[in-house]
Amino acid sequence: MIWNRKLKNKIWPVFKWILCLLVILFVGKRALDLWKSSPDQVLTIHYHWLVLSGIIYLLGWIPSVWFFQKLLFRAGGKVSMLESARAYYCGHLGKYIPGKALVLVIRASLVTHSGVPGRVAGLMAAYETLVMMGAGAALSVALFPFFFNQDLITILPEFLQSVFTHPQAQHVLNSSWLLPVAVIIISILLLPLIAKLFSFAANKMSQSVPQENADSSVQPIDARFLLIGLLIFVLSWCMMGLSLGLILKGVGGENWNWSDIPMWTGVVSLATVVGFVAIFAPGGVGVREGILIGILSQQVFIGEKSAVAAAFLLRVVWLLAEVSLSGILYYWAEPKETTPVWVEPKKNNTVAKPKKTTPGVEPPENNAGRR
């Protein structure tokens, strides 16, 4: 049994790197074929749009920073917004390690100075990640009709083609409101169950973070606070979509229009969530680009070269933005040395009232232990 575990620990990392490499090679070949298939299209890079895209992308994570801070506060931690931002943005760099667990470790380690136990901070970071990705998954499904077209069916596997060509499926996809309304209703009805599932999954994810205090425990996230997180993360994903739209503008998008924000948001949320689920791909590299290229290249008003360039430039712009801001916050916002004081969260809302005593009269001792 021990030997099998050791063998698995050796083989699994190698398998992940091989799988990641195969995905990158496949996507790279697909991108090269598309690039060669449209030699007449001339790309003009407008760098100011790329810079603006990076700024919008960083601003899009502010709701996540706020949510992360509130989670730490609910767990008994006292962390400022600036300290939360420092831990959060620096943690982004951990996603480029296979498995992505280093994201939680970095964020947890950068807030423990305020007295939040590492395991608790890791648990809160896992909560935030799950809620963010959950909102992205729901949004990508709700906005599917905005980026779906009949040309996309041709690049899908045969069993999926039969599903999407079904008359009922075509009716739903041709409507711009049926699927969004259905997602909203289902999400609200399943909110208590989703809250419990996120709590369970976050506990599993945070096991990679060292636990200094075995007695550290927090209340599971409740449905009301989960709903708040899902709503504010819709704004985050819309800003991510706008960032993609600005990238398309930066590669010479002639038919650029604000009305395409639902399409940009749906595409970027789908690509990012699938890249997150693909634990073998550091930062979703290859997976995210493959989805972006596959969908954007099928849009009528986006050329194939523009789709390829936008997919890879989005990676470059977002990575440079993350590295730049992380470096600034890590050194500029470094907290001062403080004595860690962690306030254990209350198990319930009842607070014990102090007993009234008469001045000059000592309260009776508890003799139960003497008997």
**What does the pLDDT look like over 296-345, one tens digit per residue?**
988 878 888 999 999 999 999 999 999 999 999 999 887 765 544 445 55
Picking from 310, 220, 238, the residue whose alpha carbon sits closest to that of residue 62 is 238
H-assigned helices in the chain: 2-37, 47-59, 62-74, 81-91, 102-109, 118-142, 144-147, 150-153, 158-164, 167-173, 178-189, 191-205, 223-250, 261-277, 287-296, 304-332
- Amino acid in position 45: I
The SS3 call for residue 260 is: helix
How far, in Å, CA of 280 to CA of 20, rounded?
Answer: 6
Helix, strand and coil content of the chain, in percent to the nearest 5, comes to: 70, 0, 30
- The predicted pLDDT at position 157 comes to 72
Residue 10: the pLDDT is: 73
**How many angstroms separate the CA atoms of 328 and 90, rounded?**
10
What pTM, to 2 d.p., does this model score? Answer: 0.83
Q: In sequence order, which residues have a C-beta less than 8 Å from that of residue 229 and are 6 or more positions away?
A: 67, 128, 131, 132, 135
Closest CA to 76 of 112, 36, 23, 27: 112
Residue 144: exposure state from Cβ atoms within 10 A (0-12, 13-18, ≥19)? middle
- Please report where in the chains the tokens 């994903």 appear, as a residue: 237
Per-residue pLDDT of 226-247, as tens digits, reads 999 999 999 999 999 999 999 9
pLDDT classification of 264: cutoffs 50, 70, 90: very high
